[in-house]
Amino acid sequence: MPKQALESLTESMFYLLMALTQGERCGTEITAFAAEITAGRVKIGPATLYTLLGKFEKEGLIAETSVLGCKRYYQITPAGRAAYTAECTRLQLCLQNAAAAAQGAFADDSGFIAGGGSAGSGSGVGRDDIATSETASGVGRDDVLAFGSDMKDSVDKYGGGLGEGIDYAKEMWDKTINGINRYGLFFADSLGEVLWHDPVFLFYLTITIVGLVALGVIRALTS
């Protein structure tokens, strides 16, 4: 039975469902769609992709339709489409709220920020409170303005570097996961080929493992 739809979706979840609203797709087509429509901004790594596909399939948001070779194709379900539509609505409301907040900020002369308190009121610090030459703590208006200016300079100077650092760390994480997946598949395929084509090797390998286990049991009993 499908679980209740998620209250909100991460960016990777959102673009995964968006890709499937266009029709059936396999994993590589989903990642290509997300990268293309966002001009490369959103990159869904293999580990993230297959984790989300399994999660969404378990929760009834998507369903597997066919398997062609090593590719599995999925389609969005009515529950998945409802979750996608709900997320679109939520994001639109967020943008509307942001626009309303931008238009209303500092518009009310009775408070520092609209609804944020007024001079001498008990609800918060108003514009007139900060405009006074000095507060009870000894911090004056000039001190507040200087601190704000320093904070702005710091954000302007280091904010971009922080974002680049996060993007670089994310890229390196995806590359690491991709490398682990490739080497794991190569090792599994190579071992499978050896065992399939060389039953003698498989026999001796089995004897060796059984012998090691037996030796371990004997040593444990006699110690």
Residues 174-205: tens digit of each pLDDT: 777 777 777 667 766 666 666 666 667 667 77
What does the DSSP 8-state code read for residue 125? -
Both tokens assigned to 172:
């390196």
Q: What is the mean pLDDT of the chain?
A: 75
Which pLDDT does position 89 carry in this prediction? 93
Task: Provide the 3-class DSSP secondary structure of residue 71.
Answer: strand
Average pLDDT over residues 15-26: 95
pLDDT of residue 171 exceeding 50, the answer is yes
pLDDT of residue 7 exceeding 70, the answer is no
pLDDT: which is higher, 126 or 88: 88
pLDDT of residue 213 exceeding 80, the answer is yes
From residue 109, give the alpha-carbon distance in Å to each of 101, 106, 115, 119, 184: 16, 7, 10, 10, 64
Which pLDDT does position 23 carry in this prediction? 94
Which pLDDT does position 124 carry in this prediction? 47
Residues 50-103: tens digit of each pLDDT: 999 999 999 999 999 999 988 999 999 999 999 999 999 999 999 999 998 888
Percent of the chain topping pLDDT 70: 58
Cα atoms in the Cβ-side hemisphere of radius 13 Å centred on 84? 21
Which pLDDT does position 44 carry in this prediction? 93
Burial class (CB in 10 A: 0-12, 13-18, 19+), 213: exposed
Find how far residue 111's CA is from the centre of its chain: 38
Q: 82 near 23, Cβ under 8 Å? A: no
Both tokens assigned to 162:
């922080």
Helix (H) or strand (E) holding 170: helix 141-197
Which pLDDT does position 133 carry in this prediction? 43
State the Cα–Cα distance between residues 223 and 217, nearest whole angstrom: 10
State the Cα–Cα distance between residues 82 and 85, nearest whole angstrom: 5
